[in-house]
Amino acid sequence: MKQLATISLKFANQNLVFTNQRALFLETENALVLSDLHIGKSATFRKNGIPISQSVLIEDLQRLKALIDHFKAEKLIIVGDLFHAEFNTDIDYFKDWLLQFDNLKLQLIIGNHDRLSATLYEDLNIDIFKPSLKLDPFTFVHDLNECEDDAFYISGHIHPGYVLKGKGKQFIKLPCYQVFDNHIVLPAFSKFTGLNTNKTDKKNTNIVFTEDAIFKI
């Protein structure tokens, strides 16, 4: 793994470790929480005549493995869009990759891209939840539209990014976590995804990261 950088913050009395590797670690559950892996995206492109190498998937999964080893995580909570589209060779690769873990539990909140048949999830031993998974004090959903006041949400879907602006028309676009009063939006885990830098309507802080650093803005 490239240089790991983290920030720990408390939400609802729980410690969350934000990493610059596009996932956060939830200590009480001993779980990595991540979103938007889009496995199968590169193969979908290939099938449609756009040559994108499988190495984008391989790199994503190497990073995930390094995170699992580092935190000794026992569980992955994936808040949607684990798979990109239809069944393809990328998913075969993912299947083989999963075999190396003896006791890794996978919990998936179904996202708008996850349209594969239930038998596949069963086959891969993934527990699926729709529309949300509650693990007090957190509620995990894919795309948050409405929220109740007493809950704390963790979601994905929008692939948030942040534009750092400096003097003289300088700007840098970086992925980020968006943190609201009772809601966190995760960055997309896959690097083969775009960034959505539209501003939010509500006030929030952003936890922005690069290859070797992470900081709050």
Q: Are 18 and 30 in contact (CB under 8 A)?
A: no
Regarding 117 and contact with other proteins (CB under 8 A), the answer is no
Among 14-22, 102-110, 161-169, 177-185, the segment contacting other proteins (CB under 8 A): 161-169
Distance in angstroms (rounded) separating the CA atoms of residues 208 and 137: 25
Give least dist CB 35 to other proteins, A: 17
Smallest distance from other proteins to CB 199, Å: 8
**Residue 15 CB, nearest distance to other proteins (Å)?**
26
Residue 89 engages other proteins in binding (rule: CB under 8 A): yes
Cross-strand partners of 31: 26, 75
| 45 scored as a contact of other proteins (CB under 8 A) | yes
CB of 56 to other proteins, least distance (A): 6
Collapsing DSSP to helix, strand or coil, 42 comes out as helix
Question: Quick check: 172 binds other proteins (CB under 8 A)?
Answer: yes
Task: Write out the H or E segment, with its range, that includes residue 47.
Answer: helix 41-47
* Count of alpha carbons within 13 angstroms of residue 170, beta-carbon side: 4
Residue 152 CA to residue 199 CA, distance in Å, equals 21
Single out the residue of 22, 41, 142, 157 in contact with other proteins (rule: CB under 8 A): 41
Q: Return the closest-CA partner of residue 114 out of 38, 2, 9.
A: 38
Residue 96 touches other proteins, criterion: CB under 8 A = no
Q: Which stretch binds other proteins (CB under 8 A): 6-14, 134-142, 152-160, 205-213?
A: 205-213
